[in-house]
Amino acid sequence: MIKISTDKSLLDVNTIYNFITQAYWAKGRTLQEVQKTIDNCLCFGAYLEGEQIGFARICTDYTVFAYVMDVFILPDYRGNGYSKLLMQRVFDDPELQSCTVWMLKTSDAHGLYQQFGFTELKHPEKVMEKIR
């Protein structure tokens, strides 16, 4: 059975680093940068028989806003509903219940996130970004 935990001491940073730095959204990130992102966010590890198989990172103020980042299930474990379980655990987390604004960016997982109520921006003219 899959276990999902926010205990950062359980995270396998090398597994996280090895996966996300091969993904389109985190190419070029250093191990130190990955560790810094973990240190400064609410993180969820997904474990099967003690081995980390997935991850999600939430950048949040714990009151109003939550930004979903670096979500993955390792390829060998996909197709078993683990990503849904991971995201359900994120959205059920007691510390995030007052957050009314949730955002994310994805190029390929729209179907997963739509199941949890994510939509295209209702008012894209109100959203701005700065890319450095």
| Domain assignment present for 132 | no
Query: For the segment 29-55, what is each residue's pLDDT rounded down to a tens digit?
Result: 999 999 999 999 999 999 999 999 999
- Give the burial class of 12: count Cβ atoms within 10 A of its Cβ; 0-12 exposed, 13-18 middle, 19 or more buried: middle
What pLDDT does 13 receive? 97
Any idea what the Cα angle at residue 43 is, between residues 39 and 49, rounded to 5°?
120
Asked whether residue 83 is domain-assigned, the answer is yes
pLDDT of residue 3: 98
Quick check: is 80 in a domain?
yes
Cα 63 to chain centroid distance, Å, stands at 18
The one-character DSSP state at 105 is -
The total domain count for the chain is 1
Is residue 11 situated within a structural domain? yes
Contact by Cβ (8 Å): 44, 87: no
Look at residue 10 and tell me if it is in a domain. Answer: yes
Give 14's Cβ-side CA count (13 Å radius).
Answer: 1
Residue 83, pLDDT score: 95
pLDDT at 80: 96
Residue 110 lies in domain:
2-126
The reported pLDDT for the residue numbered 25 is 86
pLDDT of the residue at 30: 95
Answer yes or no: is 131 within a domain.
Answer: no
**Predicted local confidence at residue 132, as pLDDT:** 86
The count of other CB atoms within 10 Å of the CB of residue 72 is 22
Q: Is residue 31 part of a domain?
A: yes
Answer yes or no: is 92 within a domain.
Answer: yes
Alpha-carbon span 122 to 30, nearest angstrom: 35
Instruction: List the chain pLDDT tens, one digit each, 132 residues.
Output: 999 999 999 999 999 999 999 988 888 999 999 999 999 999 999 999 999 999 999 999 999 999 999 999 999 999 999 999 999 999 999 999 999 999 999 988 898 899 989 999 999 999 998 888
Q: How far apart are the first and last CA of the chain?
A: 42
Q: Which two tokens stand for residue 114?
A: 């739509």
CATH number of the domain within which 20 lies:
3.40.630.30
